[in-house]
Amino acid sequence: MENRWSEQEAAACVRQWGPRWGDPLALRTYASRLLGRDDRLVVHGGGNTSVKATLPDVLGRQREVLFVKGSGYDLATIDPEGHVGLELGFLRELRALPELADAVMVNTLRTHALNADAPAPSIEALLHAFLPPRYIDHSHADAILALTNRTDATDALRDALGDAVIVLPYVHPGFALAKAADAAFTAHPGCRGMVLMHHGLITWGESAEESYRATIDLVTRAEAWLEKQRKRPIIATELIEPSVARERYRAIAPWLRGLLARKADDPDRPYQRVILRVRNDRPILEFLGAPCGREVAVSPPLTTDHLIRTKPLPMWCQDPADLEAGIAAYAQAYGEYWQRHATRAAPGTIPFDPLPRVILIPHVGVVCVGADVHEADIARDITLNTLALKRLVTEGGSYVGLPEDALFDMEYFPLQTAKLGRRKPPPLARTVAVVTGAAGAIGSGVCEVLLENGAHVAATDLPGEPLDSLVRQLQSLYPKRIVGVPMDVTDPDAVHAAFASVSETWGGIDLVVINAGLAHVAPLAKLDLEDFRRVARVNVEGTLNLLTAIGPHMQLQGTGGDVVLISTKNVFAPGAQFGAYSATKAASHQLARVASLELAERGVRVNMISPDAVFSSGERRSGLWAAVGPDRMRARGLDEKGLEEYYRNRNLLKSRVTARHVGQAVLFFATRQTPTTGATIPVDGGLPDATPR
């Protein structure tokens, strides 16, 4: 493992942060980022670091201060502010106590922070306070865990790391671990680090560089030892191509996602959905297909730090056809596990849902589950890491994890569950939406509103720069929740392929916004049949293709869904010279009404929105108005601004209708505020002639 310390970079950090935060914290921040940058040392917010410094208080008295990572900060991107300053003198006095309840410890840490607005300190803060060295680095490094989680761990650790480290048996994190680590440190002077069995590594130093170097040195030695011990490479007996596994996954993803949705009490929102993330590259398929795959993979996690994301055990399903029974069996086993240990949980603890977070399916891949893509990705990254390490251990020894009671204690450790966050999720957090015609004015406005409300959005349109630039723009704001899927709505195969692609990305689809449309200006007497057919192909056949694909998808997924058709005011009040548009949109509107009749029994609601005169959304001009505007301007003798004014003044509310207004109407249906299907909301400022009837 590479030592990335650079004196130049360190000096730059001291120049940047030193004047405000002091040199020790500036160097602490630099070294923390070095650790965070390597996913063999730290994954997703894991690990924590500290430095001890002396600072004057408001009365000018010099005080010893512990700066320790705040809970929820990621070492890779941490700033000096991400470290909480705590009164070190007081914390050290806590060593005299025989025990300290978790809740009291958390409160004590918070009430002895220097800054009233400080984030909650890491739950391992007392470990940092009790150990004397100035700089402490704590990680859950892969290679160290590969040494501790094996039946021959004692020999392996001695052989790999020598006498330079203290080995501490597993102790539940918190006060007890801090005391045990402090006692071990005192008993073994001169050591460079401490290995915590089934947990991780602690190193220290009088400088940030010394502590960081100790981590790198020890992990490097562990890696070299592990590489040497690989004697029995794991080989799959029957290996399939990743492309075949992908096809298989696409076919079952919506069904699996439906099986993992929990029934809710709300008749308007009867399911609590999940987001799925899959990985099925060659090494994964090889491992899952190996004769020992199941035995090795279905074992406790590497470190208790991971299990709030993954549950104590993954689910194994040999044959995808057995997924439903497999999930039921997993849930039952999880319920029994809870029953076996419930008395150990704090009074009033409610068990987590019994469904798996990680599902291993040979010849398909690893599927991870979360409330949104962020959560599912954390579970997936941890799982991939875990499987690689379990494989490495098994190739030269045999893997062993923690016993069940220790897993339970950590899964229901209140300080750990607090990491999952208590913030109220946005209304569409668990929703996957497909928006057609996304690169247009209304489409992009709808995408924005859905993303702002937490949805995962597949923006679809014809391939090309308008779609690409929209996706780039939205990805800068919502990196994980927007994908661009090129799709021609007039091609049924393209629609099916797009649905499969979105299902592969997030597990399925819950909301389809049918927005792609074309306009053409000509009086009937001059309406060319080919022009009419061109408009009809998009407006009518495009809508039909989507409605045709939605039925089987929703049937397979089994959790209902929503369809919103962006209709038009012209359906109710057509415009002269606008026959092709008005007639074809009327046909699509009627198709949506029929869909509302046919899909209701599957829990799918189909509603329509009829906007009027949406000219643009930010920089995006409406394609429809690009086609229609010049003619309308000529007919009324107006310029562009004048035409917008004209449309504003013709509605009752004198409103300028925007793409975001249309997005808000989609949100109304998508969040299911009322039990409504087959209905139309006008978004037009009030046009009595165009009121739906």
Residue 123 CB, nearest approach to Zn ion (Å): 8
Which DSSP state fits 120? P
Residue 200 Cβ vs Zn ion, minimum distance, rounded to whole Å = 5
Q: How far is the CB of 197 from Zn ion (least distance, A)?
A: 12
What are the C-alpha distances in Å from 190 to residues 165, 194, 200, 210, 655?
A: 9, 11, 20, 14, 76
DSSP string over 240-256: --HHHHHHHHHHHHHHH
User: In terms of CB distance, is 136 or 608 closer to Zn ion?
Assistant: 136
Grouping H, G, I as helix, E, B as strand and the rest as coil, residue 358 is strand
Cβ neighbors of 692 (< 8 A, separation 6 or more) are 572, 610, 679, 680, 682
Q: From CA 300, how far away is CA 337, in angstroms rounded?
A: 13
Complex with Zn ion: residue 121 or 200, whichever CB lies closer: 200
- The token pair at 645 is 């004014």
Taking the complex as a whole, the smallest distance from the CB of residue 98 to Zn ion amounts, in Å, to 23
Residue 304 C-beta: closest distance to Zn ion, Å: 8
Name the residue nearer to Zn ion (CB basis): 290 or 410. Answer: 410
182 vs 372, which CB is nearer to Zn ion? 182
Q: Quick one: DSSP state of residue 657?
A: P
d(CA 531, CA 663): 30
Size of residue set near Zn ion by CB under 5 A:
1
Least CB distance to Zn ion at residue 170 (A): 11
End-to-end alpha carbon distance in the chain = 71
DSSP states along 153-197: HHHHHHHHHGGGEEEE----TTHHHHHHHHHHHHHSTT-SEEEET
Going by C-alpha positions, the residue among 138, 185, 186, 194 that lies closest to residue 165 is: 194
Q: Is 251 exposed, middle or buried (0-12, 13-18, 19+ CB in 10 A)?
A: middle
How far is 163 from 124, CA to CA, in rounded Å? 25
Residues in contact with Zn ion, shown as a per-residue x/- string from 198 to 237 under the rule CB under 5 A: --x-------------------------------------
Determine the Cα–Cα distance for residues 372 and 451; give it in Å rounded to an integer: 12
CB of 159 to Zn ion, least distance (A): 24
3-state secondary structure 552-569: HHHHHHCCCEEEEEECCH
Site string for Zn ion, 171-200 (x = CB under 5 A): -----------------------------x
Contact 512, 489 (CB under 8 A): no
Pairing of strands 456-461, 432-435: parallel
What does the per-residue mask of binding to Zn ion show for 289-328, with x meaning CB under 5 A?
A: ----------------------------------------
Three-state DSSP at 454 gives coil
Helix spans in 478-601 (H):
492-506, 529-536, 543-557, 579-599
Q: Residue of minimal CB distance from Zn ion?
A: 200
Pairing mode, if any, of strands 262-263 and 271-272? antiparallel
Annotated catalytic residue: which of 249, 581, 646, 647?
Answer: 581
Cβ of residue 381: shortest distance to Zn ion, in angstroms? 17
**Between 157 and 446, CB nearer to Zn ion:** 157
Cβ contact 489:462 at 8 Å: no
Closer to Zn ion at the Cβ: 139 or 280? 139
- Report how far Cα 58 is from the mean position of its chain's Cα atoms: 43
Which C-beta is closer to Zn ion: that of 408 or that of 532? 408
Residue 57 φ/ψ, nearest 5 degrees: -90, -170
Residue 196 Cβ vs Zn ion, minimum distance, rounded to whole Å: 7
Nearer to Zn ion, 171 or 355 (CB): 171
Q: How far is the CB of 192 from Zn ion (least distance, A)?
A: 18
In terms of Cα–Cα distance, which of 561, 630, 660 is closest to 602?
A: 561
**Closer residue to Zn ion (CB): 200 or 401:** 200
Q: Nearer to Zn ion by C-beta: 173 or 362?
A: 173
Pairing assessment for the beta strands 135-139 and 200-205 based on DSSP bridges: antiparallel
Closest CA to 512 of 671, 670, 679, 371: 670
Which candidate, 394, 400, 364, places its Cα nearest to that of 234?
394
Closest approach, Cβ 497 to Zn ion, in A, equals 45
Q: Is 334 a catalytic residue?
A: no
At position 441, the amino acid (one-letter code) is: A
Shorter beta-carbon distance to Zn ion: residue 312 or 354: 312
Other CB atoms within a 10 A radius of the CB of residue 360 amount to: 23
The alpha carbon torsion through 306, 307, 312, 314 (nearest 10 deg) reads -70
Least distance between Zn ion and beta carbon 60 (Å): 37
User: Encoding tokens for residue 646?
Assistant: 């004209």
Residue (219 or 457) nearer to Zn ion, CB: 219
Active site residues: 581
Sites of contact with Zn ion (CB under 5 A): 200
